[in-house]
Amino acid sequence: MLRATFAGTQLPTDCYGLLTDAVALRRIIRIMSKTSRRVVFGVLLIITLVVSTGGALGYLGRLTLVFDRHPGKSLAIVEEVPGPEDGPKCPIDARYLDEAPDGLRPEVLQAWKSLRAKAADQGVQLCLNDGKRSRQQQQKEFDDAVQKFGSEELASKYVLNPPDRSMHVIGLAVDIQPIESAKWVEKNGSTFGWCRRYLNEQWHFEYNAGYSTGGCPALVPSATGS
The answer to whether residue 222 sits within a structural domain is no
Between 10 and 90, whose confidence is greater?
Answer: 90
CA-based Rg of the chain, rounded to a whole angstrom? 29
Q: Is 108 within a domain? A: yes
Count CB-CB contacts under 10 A for residue 187.
10
Residue 40 has pLDDT above 60, yes or no: no
pLDDT confidence of residue 188: 98
The pLDDT of residue 44: 57
Residue 70 lies in a domain: no
Sign, CA dihedral 68-70-74-76, equals negative
pLDDT at residue 57 in the model? 43
Residue range of the domain that includes 30 = 3-59
198 and 93 part of one domain: yes
Do 206 and 126 share a structural domain? yes
* CATH code of the domain covering residue 170: 3.30.1380.10
32 and 87 share one domain = no
Q: Do 100 and 171 fall within a single domain?
A: yes
Q: Which pLDDT value is given to residue 156?
A: 84
Model confidence at 15: pLDDT above 50: no
Q: DSSP letter for 10, please.
A: E
* 223 found inside a domain: no
Q: Is residue 159 part of a domain?
A: yes
**pLDDT tens digits, one per residue of 55-94:** 444 433 444 444 334 444 444 688 888 889 889 999 999 9
pLDDT in tens, 95-122: 999 999 999 999 999 999 999 999 999 9
Distance CA 224, CA 90 (A): 29
DSSP assignments along 174-206, one per residue:
EEEESHHHHHHHHHHGGGGTEEEEETTEEEEEE
The pLDDT of residue 64: 44
- With respect to residue 100, please indicate whether it lies within any of the assigned structural domains: yes
Q: By the 8 A CB rule, do 193 and 212 touch?
A: yes
Tally of domains in the chain: 2
Is 90 found in the same domain as 47?
A: no
Judge whether residue 18 has pLDDT over 50. Answer: no
Instruction: Return the amino acid letter for 96.
Output: Y
Are 200 and 93 found together in one domain? yes
- Judge whether 183 lies within some domain: yes
- Could you tell me which residue, 131 or 71, shows the higher pLDDT? 131
**Same domain flag for 14 and 126:** no
190 has a pLDDT exceeding 90: yes
| Pairing status of strand 173-177 against strand 201-207 | antiparallel
